[in-house]
Amino acid sequence: MAQDINSPKYTIGVIGTGTMGRGIAQIAVTGGFRVKMFDAQEGAADQAREFITRMVSRAAEKGQMSEADAAAANDRLQIVGSLAEMADCGMVIEAIVENLDVKRAVFGELEGIVAEETILASNTSSLSVTQIAAGCAKPERVAGFHFFNPVPLLKVVEVVAGEVTAPWVVDKLDAIARKCGHEPVRTQDTPGFLVNHAGRGLYTEGVRILAEGIAEAHQVDDVLREGGANFRMGPFELMDTTGLDVSGVVMESIYEQFYQEQRFKPQAFIRNRMAAGLLGRKAGRGFYTYEDNKKVAPAEPAAPADLPDSVWIGPEGHASTKILAAFLKDKVEIETGAKPSARAICMVAPMGRDATMTAIDLGIEAERTVAVDTLFGLDGRRTLMTTSVTDEGVRDLAHGLLASDGGAVTVIHDSPGFIAQRVIATIVNISCEIAQMRIATPGDINKAVRLGLAYPQGPLEFGDTLGPAKIHGILTAMHAFYGDPRYRPSPWLTRRARLGISLMTPEA
């Protein structure tokens, strides 16, 4: 019979006492569990215990727990000298090197030591849980238990079911996670599991925009931070923080593991930057340069001072056009005729389309046309997009007008979907496909991304906030322009957009 996790004797074994192992051990002892730690490297477990004891004691000093509770938590931590001493553990979690053969060997040894009902869990972030379990005599008791760094602060853990993992195992891991103060999210055993899978859109669409020459890296980051989406960091800041040697490898790995699914396709320049050592903050150079470990951002160019005499806005009657017209009201004379006068500059607000094709379809001159992204309104940073032939004077007049109230403006080259539209739509679409494939529930998708990636909203929440039909329209327009399957809408999104229902709506 499986042990009761509420018993004061319930013991969790932790193998590997590096950053992840010690973090897992820390939340386990503060959650009330006894913990046995083992590390094959001499002295590593003792160093981990000293670190954990210090962190727990510091929590008491900050008033986050009582002195008595801190002392009890530290007393529950034990160092063992061999795997044989984990015989009484109700669960053992390994946090060792990301090597399939090594993990299988450790679990194989444990099977001869622990009880039949003991759970064997892996903190792997990149290996298949099913393949790890395949080396065990009882693969049904093996699961993934993937935490994020730093473990005590990122309060989410992926509970990963392999192909033959028993339901009681994931149920118990769910309960253990909650007792440790973490939010569990359940996911099937697929490349990237849930968090890294759902997070692909921000990275892959960001690098696609850069590869296409639409905008510079800092412009993409600025728009996604300040343009209404409210990301804490843009994709290039994130890659510089984690290190391109990590982010680049993950991009390529997930793309290949999904048999070159186009939604996850990386770009060739990433590998070149890795080869050049442009790895980010730790190298002093990445997409940004760093001085004293601080990012040096390019200076914001001053907005032009001149303003246009009048502006024609089209197409008339569209919701995005109305947003633009409301913003420009009282700032400039707005023309409302079917066609612009000779003295007007033309401003359009397409969704999923580029400025050039919008101008052609409206029968207006591309040379005096610019486009403005209204996806998140115009309260934050604004994105101004030129056609392939926009006159520089027209561009500068439009820039000055959009910045006339002191707001920041990012000027980019022509692109179906600007920056924010195409990135957000890609993020939403990938998560819709995760829901469609039954990898995780809509609620767990949102929770995992909010807690694991610190997005301002979960991806399906983003879609519902902006409107599933709008997201579907952006993707459909991009797919039609590029002919690239990366932009094909997920069936989950298509059906809910057509039905006019929330992306959170489960299948009947």
Burial class (CB in 10 A: 0-12, 13-18, 19+), 414: buried
Matching residue, tokens 């197409």: 315
Q: Which of 128, 196, 429, 490 is catalytic?
A: 196
**In the numeric block, which tokens belong to residue 273?**
């930057």
How many Cβ atoms sit within 10 Å of the Cβ of residue 433?
A: 20
Spatial contact of 193 and 160, defined as CB atoms under 8 Å apart: yes
Report the distance separating Cα 25 and Cα 95, nearest Å. Answer: 10
Q: Which residues pair with 132 in a beta bridge?
A: none
Q: What is the dihedral of CA 349, 351, 357, 363, to 10 degrees?
A: -50
Q: How many residues does the chain have?
A: 508
Spatial contact of 373 and 354, defined as CB atoms under 8 Å apart: no
**Nearest by Cα to 468 from 443, 507, 488, 498:** 498
187: helix, coil or strand? strand
**Nearest by Cα to 351 from 442, 170, 264, 475:** 475
**Nearest by Cα to 238 from 190, 196, 291:** 196
Report the distance separating Cα 382 and Cα 191, nearest Å. Answer: 36
The torsion angles phi and psi of 231, rounded to 5 degrees, stand at -70, 145
Report the distance separating Cα 79 and Cα 504, nearest Å. Answer: 45
**In the numeric block, which tokens belong to residue 420?**
């924010």
Please provide the distance, in angstroms rounded to a whole number, between the alpha carbons at the two ends of the chain. Answer: 36
Q: Which of 74, 122, 123, 125 is catalytic?
A: 125
Instruction: Clarify whether 404 is annotated catalytic.
Output: no
Spatial contact of 424 and 466, defined as CB atoms under 8 Å apart: yes
Q: Which of 122, 123, 128, 146 is catalytic?
A: 146
Report the distance separating Cα 283 and Cα 376, nearest Å. Answer: 35
Rg of the chain (C-alpha set): 26
Paired sense of beta strands 294-296 and 289-291, if any: antiparallel
309: helix, coil or strand? coil
Instruction: Clarify whether 196 is annotated catalytic.
Output: yes
Which residues touch 78 (CB under 8 Å, ≥6 apart)?
Answer: 34, 35, 36, 37
Report the distance separating Cα 404 and Cα 250, nearest Å. Answer: 42
Report the distance separating Cα 449 and Cα 432, nearest Å. Answer: 13
Instruction: Clarify whether 146 is annotated catalytic.
Output: yes
Report the distance separating Cα 487 and Cα 430, nearest Å. Answer: 10
Residues involved in catalysis: 125, 146, 158, 196
